[in-house]
Structure 1
Amino acid sequence: MPNAQYLLFTSIYKLESHIIDTLKSNLGIPIYSIGPTIHYYRLKESFSVTTTGHNNDINYVQWLDSQPKALVLYMSQVKFLGGDKGLVVPWCDQLKVLCHSSVGGFWSHCGWNSTKDGVFAGLPFLTYLIFSDQIPNSKTIVEDWKIGWKVRRGMGADEHLVTREEIAKLIQRFMDLESVEGKEMRRAKELQQICKNATS
């Protein structure tokens, strides 16, 4: 890095100004936040695409089209048993699903790419971090941006087991669009606009 002329970050200054300013002052070279590297223009294409070519016989977009607005919770990196209330697919275009009008929340492991996708889609998060950068990403989502709740509490020896009953109650509260908490979480739409402006 000492030989670099400048650094490019796939981030948004308005969302991470304190971090970018600190890096600028410590490194002494120009730093540019170039916004999220999201295939936004491809996303504007019709949602009614088939998913063939990804070893997936299920048209998950068609399933999403049949669901009520903002009542689907998208879950990544977890095992799930849904019966007739859910759909499990081996692969999907995550950003396309997150931007679908029937999706109202994102259960995420908080990897940075998933975090960017969720913010771009304007969704609140249920964070279930596992390791590495997911820990500060979850903190940013929950404490700084205030658009998410933690599901996992503690790490390692300090971890508190979250029971299925607790998860069921949490999801029910989280997906309640009419609750005070639910309305506050919809602040995610403000971040979505910041993200779209940066992409433009």
Structure 2
Amino acid sequence: MQEIVAGVLDSDVRFLWIAREDASRLQEGEGSKGLVVPWCDQLKVLCHPSIGGLWSYCEWNSTKEGAFAGVLMLTFPLKWDQFPNSKHIVENWKMGWTVRRNEEILVTREEISDVLKRFMDLGCDEGKEMRRRTQEIREICRLATVEGGSSQLQIKAFINDITKLHNVRT
């Protein structure tokens, strides 16, 4: 954690860090480039146009919210389903990078600083393509959630199936 904090600070990239525990340790060094808070409405924050990306452990809710918001993601999976979620973000959706680390799941402050600088560089060709792709994914998500969209239709079909099953048993 110390290397991650140091790398973010060394990168000179603006950040919002949600630290549910021990936020005081992070606040000591964030300076004028960052804000540390104990909680936020992540989806609301991610949908704000000033957000350039999301560092994510790739838990499913964060993965869905990042896709819905259309933000680039730096993936840093640690366990279980986070690894396939990261692979999906990076390889299938093509809207992020994986933060590389050694076998001991360690990453250095220099590596973090470098990847953050490249990740937030609006002139980077790879970043431009990923940003274009995130907007495509975002639009797919928006269309699925509007009135009559596929998500709504699937939920209605599920409720109808459950209702039919309940009526058959009573």
Matched residue, 2:135: 189
Correspondence for 2:101 = 153
The 3-state SS of whatever aligns with 2:112 is helix
The offset of 1:73, in angstroms, is: 4.8
Q: Which runs of 5+ in 2 are unaligned?
A: 1-12, 147-170
Equivalent of residue 35 in structure 2, options 87, 102, 108: 87
> Alignment partner of 1:103: what SS?
coil
The structure richer in helix per residue is 2
Q: Match of 2:107? A: 162
* Correspondence 1:25-36 to 2 at 5 A: none
Tell me the distance in 1 between the aligned counterparts of 2:16 and 2:64.
Answer: 15
Please, which moves more after superposition, 145-154 or 180-189? 145-154
Q: Number of aligned pairs?
A: 127
8 Å Cα contact 2:16/2:34 also seen in 1: no
Alignment of 1:180 onto 2:125: yes
| Residue of structure 1 in register with 2:49 after alignment | 101
| Alignment CA distance shift 1:144-1:159 (3 Å) | farther
> Which residue is equivalent to 2:79?
131
Letter in 2 for 1:177: L
Whether contact under 8 Å (2:90, 2:96) holds in the other structure is: yes
Residues 1:195 and 1:75: Cα distance change in structure 2 (over 3 Å): farther
C-alpha contact (below 8 Å) 1:75/1:107 kept by paired residues = no
For residues 129 and 94 of structure 1, the distance between their equivalents in structure 2, rounded to whole angstroms, comes to 18
Which whole-Å CA distance do the structure 1 matches of 2:67 and 2:54 have between them? 10
Partner of 1:43: none
- Determine what percentage of the aligned residue pairs are the same residue: 59
For residue 159 of structure 1, report the CA deviation from its aligned partner. 3.6
Q: Highest CA radius of gyration, 1 or 2?
A: 2
Greater relative contact order (Cα 8 A, min sep 6): structure 1 or 2?
2
C-alpha RMSD of the superposition: 2.1
**TM-score normalised according to structure 1 size:** 0.58
| 3-state SS, counterpart of residue 88 of structure 1 | strand
Question: How has the CA–CA distance of structure 1 residues 74 and 197 changed in structure 2, closer, same or farther, with 3 Å as cutoff?
Answer: farther
CA gap 1:76/1:190 in 2 versus in 1, 3 angstroms: farther
Q: How far apart are the structure 2 equivalents of 1:96 and 1:181?
A: 26
1:175 is matched by which residue type in structure 2? M
Q: Runs of 4+ in structure 1 displaced over 3 angstroms?
A: 71-81
Cα distance in 1 between the residues matched to 2:135 and 2:16: 17
| Residue segments in structure 1 that go unaligned for 5+ positions in a row | 1-70
